[in-house]
Amino acid sequence: MQTFLFSLVLLLAQSNLVRPQSDALEAVKSKFSDGNCTYFEFANIIESKIFGVIDTIHGSAYIAKDGRYKIEIGSDVFLYDGSLLYTYFLETNQLIIEKPDSGKLVSDEISFVIKLDEWYDSKANSKNSYALTKREGVEGDIPDSLELITNFVDSTIAEIWYFDINEDINRVKFLKQKTDSICSVKRFEPDFPDSVEKVKLY
């Protein structure tokens, strides 16, 4: 679940890859394109038809136009400094370090984000709601459909929701969004505990 949530956050930072369906989505894209870095705070809420809300995970992300990012989901950290990928798990105090595969700026499990137009068809449901549907023949462990909702007032993303493999609804609510004209270099510097167990995959 965290891997896909990670993907969704990167999706927003790569929002210029989504073809606009109306002025509302175009305004969101324009706002993101104004800055060199984008900051998000979000909450992922899992809702079961039977049990109601069963889990909520908070997170934040700082993502640069050049592909660098630092994403925190719960206690886990995903960092790309422009050279290496770092994945840190607090529970096991383990840090996995690897190089991007085949020169891509993101790892395989999130590569669908930069192929959104190729793998999904999109249409407007309403003035601020957009449906993304996976195209026939597209393989991979990605959702068959997503819904993206925008805010009219400040041209931001309000929410994305999708069904997971358990048929539970995952709602990613965006609590804060901000663009910076100048990126903070320190945010992309690896800074993990000295006691961490390092696993190098390159």
* 195 — pLDDT class (breaks 50, 70, 90): very high
Weakest-pLDDT range from 94-108, 115-129, 173-187: 94-108
Q: What share of the chain is helix, strand, coil (3-state, %, to 5)?
A: 20, 45, 35
Q: Per-residue pLDDT for 114 more than 70? A: no
Please say if the pLDDT value at position 105 is more than 90: no
* CA-wise closest residue to 125 among 158, 162, 150, 156: 150
Q: Is the pTM of this model over 0.85?
A: no
Please say if the pLDDT value at position 181 is more than 60.
Answer: yes
Judged by average pLDDT, the poorest of 3-12, 115-124, 127-136, 140-149 is: 3-12
180 Cβ contact partners less than 8 Å away, ≥ 6 residues apart: 35, 36, 37, 38, 39
Buried b (16+ CB within 10 A) or exposed e, 116-144: beebbebeeeeebbbbbebeeeeeeebbe
Beta pairing, strands 85-89 & 76-80: antiparallel
Query: Is pLDDT above 50 for 127?
Result: yes
Q: How far is CA 76 from the centre of its chain?
A: 14
Note the pLDDT of residue 162. Answer: 83
C-alpha 178/C-alpha 194 separation (Å) is: 31
Between residues 13 and 140, the one the model is more confident about: 140
Domains, the chain: 2-200 (2.50.20.10)
- Which range has highest mean pLDDT (3-12, 38-47, 121-130, 149-158)? 38-47
Q: pLDDT band for 81, please (50, 70, 90 cuts).
A: very high
* pLDDT tens readout for residues 35-75: 788 888 889 888 887 777 778 889 888 888 787 888 898 89
Most confident of the ranges 46-60, 111-125, 138-152: 46-60
- In this structure, the strands spanning 76-80 and 69-73 are antiparallel
Q: Is the pLDDT of residue 18 over 50?
A: no
CA 126 remoteness from chain centre: 23
- Nearest Cα neighbor of 59 from 174, 164, 154, 169 is 174
